[in-house]
Amino acid sequence: AQGHVLEVGAGTGLNFAYYDPRQVECVEAIEPDPAMLRYAQRRQVQSAVPIHLHQARVEELPFPAASFDSAVATLVFCSVEEPARGFAEIRRVLKPEGLLLLVEHIRAASPRMARLQDLLTPLVKRCAGNCHWNRATLVTLTKAGLRVISRRDEGRGLLPLVIVQAVKE
């Protein structure tokens, strides 16, 4: 990430330590859950770059259009209530040359494994903060007008993980 950075669904702030002060001016970190925000506050003060915390959802970002150089989301879109709206908001606030950096677990490519994800998701989302194992998150991202420019696949089975860079279409 570089420049003015948006972090979506910052959780307890685990990513804050990884922002490089030589590249990043400041981070606007959003998180809807007040309990998570309290943990994030502790990591905010230890960070090498300025971090501003906001209680907000990705579906309604409290920032003007074209204001960020990078947006970061790690393991967030599995639990967002309205992912299509969330990606549309990220697209709105990214500058024309801005970069989205995403780590997500996604719907399995194998139909058998995807069916198993469909079966387990109603249970998992109740126990794990609305986490959906069966979301085709990269399809949703593309439909929202973002384009994947690099993709690394990690993990397999029920939790295939992708590490993705995307830009505005």
Ligand X SMILES: C[S@@+](CC[C@H](N)C(=O)[O-])C[C@H]1O[C@@H](n2cnc3c(N)ncnc32)[C@H](O)[C@@H]1O
Interacting residues with ligand X (CB under 6 A): 8-11, 14, 30-33, 36, 57-59, 74-76, 79-81
Q: Scan for tokens 């990606």, then name that residue.
A: 87
Question: Which CB sits closer to ligand X, 82 or 118?
Answer: 82
Shortest Cβ 37–ligand X spacing (Å): 9
Element (H, E) at 142: helix 137-143
Angle at the Cα of 117 from the Cα atoms of 133 and 151, rounded to 5 degrees? 55
Closest residue to ligand X using C-beta atoms: 11
Q: With respect to ligand X, which residue has the nearer C-beta, 73 or 138?
A: 73
Q: Say if CB 137 and CB 80 are below 8 A apart.
A: no
Minimum gap (Å) between residue 59 Cβ and ligand X: 6
Q: Which is nearer to ligand X, 115 or 143 (CB)?
A: 143
Nearer residue to ligand X within complex by CB, 115 or 120: 120
- Phi/psi for 94 (5° steps) reads -75, 145
Question: What residue type is assigned to position 59 of the chain?
Answer: E
Q: How far is the CB of 112 from ligand X (least distance, A)?
A: 26
The answer to whether 163 and 125 are in contact (CB under 8 A) is no
Nearer to ligand X, 9 or 160 (CB): 9
* Residue whose C-alpha is closest to residue 7's, from 61, 71, 85, 82: 71
Q: Cβ 12 to ligand X, closest distance in Å?
A: 6
Write down the least CB distance from residue 6 to ligand X, Å: 11
CB atoms within 10 A of CB 16: 22
